[in-house]
Amino acid sequence: MAEVLVLVDHVDGTVRKTTAELLTIARRIGEPSAVFIGDGFDTAKEALARYGAEKVYRTASPEVTEHLVAPQAELLAQLVERTSPAAVLVPSSLEGKEIAARLAVKTQSGLITDAVDVQAGEGGGIATTQSVFAGSYTVSATVTKGTPIITVKPNSAAPEEVSGAAADEEVDFTPSDAAKGARITSSQPKQATGRPELTEAAIVVSGGRGTAGDFSKVEDFADSLGAAVGASRAAVDAGWYPHTSQVGQTGKQVSPQLYVACGISGAIQHRAGMQTSKTIVAVNKDNEAPIFELVDFGVVGDLFAVLPQATDAITSSKG
């Protein structure tokens, strides 16, 4: 069975849930081989094995990690050349898409981004599903040239545990000078909030203009559900919440099991970032807010009254 290369998304060896999802998807179409770049492999190895990685190609070369994505694309291109994989799966993060883009050009291969499903296609190919035009259309597509390179959105598969050998091999690799043109000169880790990461969270609670800058009730409600907190562009532009929490076309694209929009009208740009959520709930004073067209459940009311009451009810139900 052909290998499927999975680029591992991790922070110092702590493997993100998206990688478990990608390894799960990889098993549908071949034999999963992880590609681990950076420090912390000893930590990562167990998780990669648990989700079925048979092999792990790894490098901790600073020449790769200190530079922006181009060396990673070169490394993957070298592995594609060597292993002729059935596909390369990359997380649909900002870096992931950029690596995939360069890899597609380097290997003369078709690229599909933001897949929400990947399956073995009829006749041996690979069939992907994407959600486009702010979630209003579903598209099935295939790659017709080269090695399918696919970036996959978080929450596109339920991670399945299956034991893999995770036999590791250090890759001998030196990036070209051309690939070292963009250098990362500083990197400040995001301040930990204790809440789940936005794009990975099963539940996301977002606040918008209706918060008038006070996110405390949104945060309390989110914490009662163990949810991540997001924000609309209006709230971010007003300086009420950090840009890294923005949900929408120009922010994070989220696809959780439950999305709760609080004081968010539901402009098309916001819908583009959350419309594929499985269940959608809104709280808004304006009964004509477009967000109500999308919801499974909506409360027309003031979030400062509704959210604390719901928070109390949820907290007390947990006893």
Here's the x/- map for other proteins, 148-177, by CB under 8 A: it reads as ------------------------------
264 in a labelled binding site: yes
Q: How far is CA 76 from CA 109, 119, 171, 227, 301, in A?
A: 13, 22, 11, 35, 52
Q: Which C-beta is closer to other proteins: that of 41 or that of 259?
A: 259
Residue 244 binding other proteins, by CB under 8 A: yes
67 in a labelled binding site: no
Residue 211 binding other proteins, by CB under 8 A: no
Contact 292, 298 (CB under 8 A): yes
Residue 43 binding other proteins, by CB under 8 A: no
Single residue of 30, 71, 85, 135 touching other proteins by CB under 8 A? 135
Residue 108 makes CB contacts below 8 A (sequence gap 6+) with: 145, 146
Distance CA 105, CA 77 (A): 10
Q: What single-letter DSSP state applies at residue 179?
A: G
Q: To the nearest whole angstrom, how small is the minimum distance from the Cβ of residue 104 to other proteins?
A: 6
Residue 254 binding other proteins, by CB under 8 A: no
Single residue of 31, 50, 97, 223 touching other proteins by CB under 8 A? 97
Residue 101 binding other proteins, by CB under 8 A: yes
User: Among candidates 12, 21, 5, 7, which has minimal Cα distance to 200?
Assistant: 21
Distance CA 275, CA 35 (A): 31
Residue 37 binding other proteins, by CB under 8 A: no
Contact 92, 113 (CB under 8 A): yes
Residue 117 binding other proteins, by CB under 8 A: no
Q: Which C-beta is closer to other proteins: that of 53 or that of 134?
A: 134
Q: How many residues bind other proteins (CB under 8 A)?
A: 95
Q: How far is CA 100 from CA 110, 139, 158, 287, in A?
A: 10, 20, 23, 43
Binding residue ranges for FAD? 209, 232-233, 246-250, 263-270, 284
